[in-house]
Amino acid sequence: MPAGRFVMGDSTGDANRGDGEEPRHPVALNGFSIDATTVTNDDFARFVADTGYRTEAETFGYSAVFHLAVAARESDIMGPAAMTPWWIGVRGADWRHPGGRLSDAVDDGLGDHPVVHVNWNDAAAYADWAGRRLPSEAEWEYAARGGLDGARYPWGDEGVDDGGWRANIWQGRFPTENTMEDGHLTTAPADAFAPNGYGLHQAVGNVWEWCRDWYSASAYTEATTTSPTGPVHGTERVLRGGSYLCHDSYCNRYRNSARSHNTPDSSMGNAGFRTVSR
């Protein structure tokens, strides 16, 4: 990634109220390297084999699985989340078993898919092992834009399905019917779709990506304009890029400027990460 400047924030009027995508503001960044894809199951398996690391989902004994992806015995199903019933707490769900104990990332041929059920703490541990770190929110957006300053998506402003599918999002009626016009119910291989102008695959869609910044809805009103790293303190970390569950009727956050957040100990079946140089 070359050093450069861009305008960070929503430029198309699509911002979700309360997410803090505004005000738009100029940002200057030094050069850095960033993974072309999100970290895959195969990548994460090498980390675990080398270190013996156990994710917090493995330690806690459960994680959140999308209801159509559950592969577990009835005794392992803890029930739906209160406000988002399409998320099911499943005992034994973790990065190796993304649907529950009856699934297996290796046996199911998911080695080249993004690792999921990794929380921010797990992602940071992997990055440290790799001699890298998680991207700042500004670095992530700069890279995702692929040199197209002000564009809605990494490829420009055309729709996700204009001229063929460009990202892995939800098609059909959320959350009960996915017509899978893009070929995927949940995750796709990390390099399944064409890269943007900087060579990044699937910066939007597929899985949310953890960033190093603490989240604040007012972060942009207080941000510095040179290599910003977000608030000094917080309770939640930033997530970027949307996921395979994004749909205009529910979540239009598969955009360059869209923001989300969660606590650093939260893991779920639609969040992963990529790393950058220290």
Q: Are 180 and 174 in contact (CB under 8 A)?
A: no
Quick one: how far is CA 56 from the chain centroid? 18
Which residue(s) pair with 26 in the sheet?
7
* Residue-by-residue pLDDT tens, the chain, 278 positions: 999 999 999 989 998 889 999 999 999 999 999 999 999 999 999 999 999 999 999 999 999 999 999 999 999 999 999 999 999 999 999 999 999 999 999 999 999 999 999 999 999 999 999 999 999 999 999 999 999 999 999 999 999 999 889 999 999 999 999 999 999 999 999 999 999 999 999 999 999 999 999 999 999 998 889 999 999 999 999 999 999 999 988 889 999 999 999 999 999 999 999 999 99
Q: Are strands 62-66 and 132-133 parallel, antiparallel or unpaired?
A: unpaired
Phi and psi at residue 191, to the nearest 5°: -115, 30
Strand pairing partners for 277? Answer: 132
Three-state DSSP state, 121: helix
Phi and psi of 235, rounded to 5°?
-120, -15
Cis peptide before 135 (omega within 30 of 0): no
Please, which residues have CB within 8 angstroms of residue 174's CB and are 6 or more apart in sequence?
245, 247, 249, 250
Q: For the full predicted model, state whether its pTM sits above 0.85.
A: yes
Please give the Cα distance from 175 to 191 (Å, whole number). Answer: 25
Structural contact between residues 261 and 238, judged by C-beta atoms closer than 8 angstroms: yes
Q: Could you tell me the fold of the domain covering 1-278?
A: paralog of FGE (formylglycine-generating enzyme) (3.90.1580)
Give the N- to C-terminal CA distance of the chain in Å, as an integer. Answer: 13
Nearest to 6 by CA among 23, 34, 22, 29: 29
Pairing outcome for strands 271-272 and 208-214? parallel
Digit-coded pLDDT (tens) for 46-91 = 999 999 999 999 999 999 999 999 999 999 999 999 999 999 999 9
Q: What does the pLDDT look like over 83-124, one tens digit per residue? A: 999 999 999 999 999 999 999 999 999 999 999 999 999 999
